[in-house]
Amino acid sequence: MKKALLIVDVQNDFCPGGALGVKDGDKVVPVINSIIDKFDFVISSQDWHPENSVHFQNWPPHCVAHTHGADLHPDLQKEKINLKLLKGTANKDDGYSAFEATNTSLAGFLHENKVINLYVCGLTTDYCVKASALDAANEGFHTYVITDATKPVNANPGDDKKALQEMYQAGCTLLESGEIR
């Protein structure tokens, strides 16, 4: 039973000082680095928006393709990443889920490599982590959400709790990084 780590959108723009910086967004980086060697495969996703995305009607412009803001956080152990996904690349939709990546198929990669267990972490709990974990569970993967390795936008207080509840109800297992063997 192969297992993979999906690191969602740990990008400069979602970290403090970024265009859509979330509180303590950068704090997930050491947690992720501490578990990164425990997986058969490590996959990252990046929000990779065109400048004229309709997504920017709902959000301040962020993670525009090929900008510094769209780069992965500098302290993330990028050399451990086996597959890099780009998503939100169309100008007509949000593309919250890593399963909507357009450069390659996440589901295809996981099936080809016989990955059953998918561990999801990163930014943000209430948007792209949630969307990715829900898609994973619906695709039939055993889906784990690493609760101390994700941070929310929390546009409304409690959005993170709601998101975790939604993932749990969809069949995801919630666990902490220290519980991963």
CA nearest neighbour of 149 among 47, 25, 46 = 25
Does position 53 interact with ligand VGL (CB under 6 A)? The reply is no
Instruction: Choose among ligand VGL, Zn ion, none what residue 124 binds, the Cβ cut-off being 5 to 8 Å by kind.
Output: ligand VGL
Whether 15 is catalytic: no
Does position 128 interact with ligand VGL (CB under 6 A)? The reply is yes
d(CA 45, CA 43): 7
- Residue number closest to Zn ion, CB atom: 47
**Token pair for residue 9?**
């959108």
Q: Among 124, 132, 150, 177, which residue interacts with ligand VGL (rule: CB under 6 A)?
A: 124
Specify whether the CB–CB gap between 121 and 129 falls below 8 A.
yes
Q: List C-alpha distances in Å: 65 to 53, 122, 171.
A: 11, 19, 33
Whether 128 is catalytic: yes
Whether 92 is catalytic: no
Residues that bind ligand VGL in the complex, under the rule CB under 6 A = 9, 47, 59, 123-124, 127-128, 153
Which residues are catalytic, by number?
Answer: 9, 87, 128
